[in-house]
Every structure is written in structure tokens, then in C-alpha cells.
Amino acid sequence: MKNSTQRSKGRETDGSALRRAIVARTARIGIIGLGYVGLPLACLFAEKGFPTTGFDIDTPKVTALNAGRSYIKHIPGKRIAAVRKSGTFDATDDFARLKQMDAIIICVPTPLTKYREPDLQFIVKTGQEIAPNLRKGQLIVLESSTYPGTTREDLKPILEATGLKSGVDFWLAYSPEREDPGNANFGTNDIPKVVGGDGKVALDLTVALYDQVVVKTVPVSSPETAETVKLTENIFRAVNIALVNELKVICAAMGIDVWEVIEAAKTKPFGFMPFYPGPGLGGHCIPIDPFYLTWKAREFGINTRFIELAGEINTAMPRYVVARLAEELSQQRAKALKDARIMMIGLAYKKNIDDMRESPALILIELLEKAGAKVSYHDPYIPAVKPSREHANLTGRKSVPLTAKSLSGADAVLIVTDHDDVDYSMVAKHGRLVLDTRNAMTRAGFAGPHLRKA
């Protein structure tokens, strides 16, 4: 089956054929990377009537999607089944099919190396997969979080090595993902999309594309600006979380409840925005994105002292939690951390999702076990620890049931993730010492000398 721009025989170089196909929703959309960003985006385009194909190198994921099953908890299988039944969505690991697509959206990971430097291998490899299948009239959009310049300095040369030119033969743009997994108030379609294009036509086409599926598009002057927008959003959060994490340490030393302070402060109707402390940063953006900008800034001879200080504070939080746990065990249980049995509640990096990427819980397990503790965990969203590059030794460890026996058998219960569907009354009743890093017990209405905060 020929796609919409192929039917125009590629005669129009101003993007008008592609624009018509986009507005008519006949343009074929290819989404590369079917994870927490790519899968909801693919579902959204398919639900809006676009013929959509998801591309992923993980064959079991492809098989599951084509069978109408989901592997991400907050994306229900019935949503996948519905777009499969409608005929607007399919998944494949055959990247030769990229040639059939009119618009290709890249949603691949951008991790850090072990030296805390940007790792663009997935963007580079994706560009190399697109290149042999690139044809005239296609729109390529990068959504992966990255440093300013990636779209035009790293991806563009790979695509132009084919002999096709951006702005003439194909169009290139950047639009940062803004997914918030598990957020019941803001889905993909509810969140405005920032767009920066490599030229006016690329910008106009990308705006037209996202206009079909999201509440609002926000065009900016360049891909570099759009790339910086994404980093700025996450650096803003990282810095403010570092601030309240530092305040937590100060307040604890003074015998003041930092969560009570924040709740009172947020009643001010201006000049204050609440952020909350925790056991450390997690997820695919906030612990990583600031280092993308600090790395790029060094190219211009600039030291990002403020951002790096925030990183140091947030990175230190798991060790602070371990120190607090050791202190409470000694004071309340007359027990050392060595050989202590610790029940950890929550492995996901935030509540009500099954995403454990960069989760501080993984660091906490390793720190506690290095100190000689025996650690088990309970997480209703993560039945077993998934493979990860940084914590491969934890792969396969299984969640234990949350029961009166498992709680009372632990010397301490450590709340790391405040999932809503945890039975906190049971934790309060049977946990002999509970150290809460999320203020979950107070919010659930429980208090007592054995319920402590960190």
C-alpha cells in the first residue's frame, strides 16, 4: 500500500503534500521506541485515526502489542486492543518499514555513561536505522531528552549522509517529550507540545502534526531552544527538590517536621511552589537531564555550579536515609544495621507506576546490604526486579507479600515509594519500626513513637 506522500510522487518540496496528509489524518506515523514515552504517543495518534506503526528492537514487546496486550501498568491492555481492533495501529521490529512512514518520531532512551556524561548511542543507532530507509517528503521528529544541538549536530549529519538534505528533501524537528507516567490529570493529549524545526517548513509541518493530537503546540525559534526547554523544566524540578531535601536535613536536626513546614508554606497564594523531599531522585529525566546541560556548558567554558550542587545534594539522599535508619534502629531497637532485617516498601521511582528506572530504592538496597542488612521489598507494581545496567545483581529479586507476618518479622520497615494501594494501617499496626521517606504514614492518618521520618 502506497502512503499518502508517495501518492503525490514527491513533486512538492514545500511540504504541502505532507501537510494535506497530516490534516486529513492519512499520513502514516512511525514511532520508534515503545516505552513509557513512545507507547502512549503511538496510542494517541492511532486513537485520532492516523495509521500508526510502532517500531522497537524488543521483539517480545512487539508480539505483546500486536496481540493487544500492554506491558506498562498505567497503559491498560484494553487501550492497545482497541487500536489494534480499529486497524490504526500495529507494531514491528522490521525497520525497513520506516520507508513507508510519512512522519517518524524518535522516542528512545538517552542515559548517562558511568562517567555521568551523555550517552547518545540510542539516538545515533536510530538515525542509522532511519538513514537507509529515508526518502523524500518525510518528517523526522526527535523527542528524546538531550542537550542543545543534538538534533542538528548529531542526528542531522547521519540523515544527510544519504545525500538527502534537511529542509529540501526531508524535514527535521525536535519536540521534547513531557510524559508524566501515572499522572491521572494530564495524559499525552492534555500536555502542550513545544516544537522547534530545522527551518520554517519543518516547524510548520511539526506544529500541524501535533496540532492534530494535543491540546496546544508551542512553536519556538529553533531545535536548540526546544532542547533547552526540556532540560530547563527538569533542572527546575531537580534544583527545587534539592532545596527541600537540604531543608529536610536541617529541619530534622532541629526537631521540625519539614512536611508540616511545606504544607503551611504552600497556603501562600503567590511566591511559593511546593516541592517535596524524598529518598533520592528517580525516573528517566530528573536525575539525568541536568547533567546533559552541564556537559554541554563545559564546551563553552561554563561551570554550572548551581546545577551540580543540586545534583550532589540529591545524590546524597540515599546515604542520608541509611544513616537515619541506622540511628533509629540503634535508638529504638538497640540493634545495629548489620544483620538487621529490613522490609522496603516500594521499588518504583514514584508512586502508582511500575517504572523503576534510576529508582533510589535500588541504591538503598545495595547500600543496606553492603552494611550487612538483609533486605526484602514489597511493591504491588513491580513483582520482580527488572534488568538494569547499573544494578544487574538485583535482577530477578521478587516482591514479598505485605502481611502481618512479613512486617512483624522485620526489624524495620522502610517506606521508599508511597503507592496508594499499600495497606498503611497494616504497616502501622505490625511494623515494629517504620522509617518513612515520603510522609505516607502521616498522610494516611497514623502516628506513634515507632513511626519515624527520614
Domains and CATH numbers, the chain: 4-220 (3.40.50.720), 234-453 (3.40.50.720)
Q: What percent of the chain has pLDDT over 70?
A: 97
Going by pLDDT thresholds of 50, 70 and 90, the confidence category of residue 297 is very high
Q: Give the three-state DSSP class for 198.
A: coil
Which of 8-12, 342-346, 423-427 comes out lowest in average pLDDT? 8-12
Query: pLDDT band at residue 12, thresholds of 50, 70 and 90?
Result: low
Calculate mean pLDDT across residues 364-377.
98
pLDDT at 180: 87
Helices 289-298 & 305-333 angle (0-180, nearest 10) = 140
Which residues does 157 contact at the CB level (< 8 Å), separation at least 6?
none
pLDDT band at 231 (very low <50, low <70, confident <90, very high): very high
Mean pLDDT of the chain: 95
Q: How confident is the model at residue 294 (pLDDT cuts 50, 70, 90)?
A: very high
- Map residue 105 onto helix, strand or coil: strand
Tell whether the model's pLDDT for residue 150 goes beyond 50.
Answer: yes
Active site annotation includes 285: yes
Which residue of the set 43, 107, 251, 285 is catalytic? 285
* Grid cell digits, residue 221: 525559534
Classified as helix, coil or strand, 218 is strand
Q: Which three cell numbers stand for residue 86?
A: 480499529
Say if residue 9's pLDDT is above 70.
Answer: no
Is the torsion defined by CA of 237, 147, 100, 3 positive or negative?
A: positive
Q: In this structure, are residues 44 and 119 in contact, taking their beta carbons and an 8 Å threshold?
A: no
166 bridge partner residues:
170
Spell 390-412 as b/e; 16+ CB within 10 A means b: ebeebeebebeebeeebbeebbb
What does the pLDDT read at residue 389? 82
1-10 own/partner pairs: CB under 8 Å, 24+ apart? 1/100, 3/27, 3/28, 3/100, 3/101, 3/102, 4/28, 4/102, 5/102, 5/137, 5/138, 6/137, 8/137, 10/135, 10/136, 10/137
3-state secondary structure of 280: coil
For residues 107 and 35, is the Cβ–Cβ distance under 8 A?
A: yes
Reduce the DSSP state of residue 97 to 3 states and report it: helix
Q: Is the pLDDT of residue 65 over 80?
A: yes
How many angstroms separate the CA atoms of 297 and 305, rounded? 11
In terms of Cα–Cα distance, which of 98, 111, 105, 33 is closest to 72? 33
Query: How far apart are alpha carbons 102 and 7 in whole angstroms?
Result: 11
Q: Does residue 393 have a pLDDT over 70? A: yes
In this prediction the pTM is 0.92
CA–CA separation, 170 and 159 (whole Å) = 9
Q: How far apart are the two ends of the chain, measured CA to CA in Å? A: 60
> Bigger pLDDT: 386 or 26?
26
Residue 151: CA count within 13 A, CB half-sphere: 30
Three-class SS of residue 150?
helix
Among 226-235, 388-397, 418-427, the range scoring the smallest mean pLDDT is: 388-397
User: pLDDT grade, residue 1 (50/70/90)?
Assistant: very low
The winner for highest mean pLDDT among 187-191, 366-370, 384-388 is 366-370
**Is 4 in contact with 191 (CB distance < 8 Å)?**
no
**Residue-level pLDDT at 385:** 95
Question: Half-sphere exposure of 122 toward its Cβ, with a 13 Å CA cutoff?
Answer: 19
The per-residue pLDDT for range 81-106, each reduced to its tens digit, is 999 999 999 999 999 999 999 999 99
Beta bridge partners of 104: 30, 140
Specify the range with the lowest mean pLDDT, choosing from 31-35, 70-74, 207-211: 70-74
The closest alpha carbon to 349, from 337, 334, 360, 364, belongs to: 360
Dihedral in degrees, nearest 10, Cα atoms 33, 37, 38, 40:
150
Mean pLDDT value of segment 202-218: 98
**Is the model more confident about 123 or about 291?**
123
Residue 53's pLDDT is 98
CA distance 103 to 390: 34
Phi, psi of 26 (to 5 degrees): -105, -10
CA 110 to chain centre: 10
Instruction: Tell me whether strands 103-106 and 29-32 are parallel, antiparallel or unpaired.
Output: parallel
pLDDT of amino acid 7: 43
Tell whether the model's pLDDT for residue 132 goes beyond 60.
yes
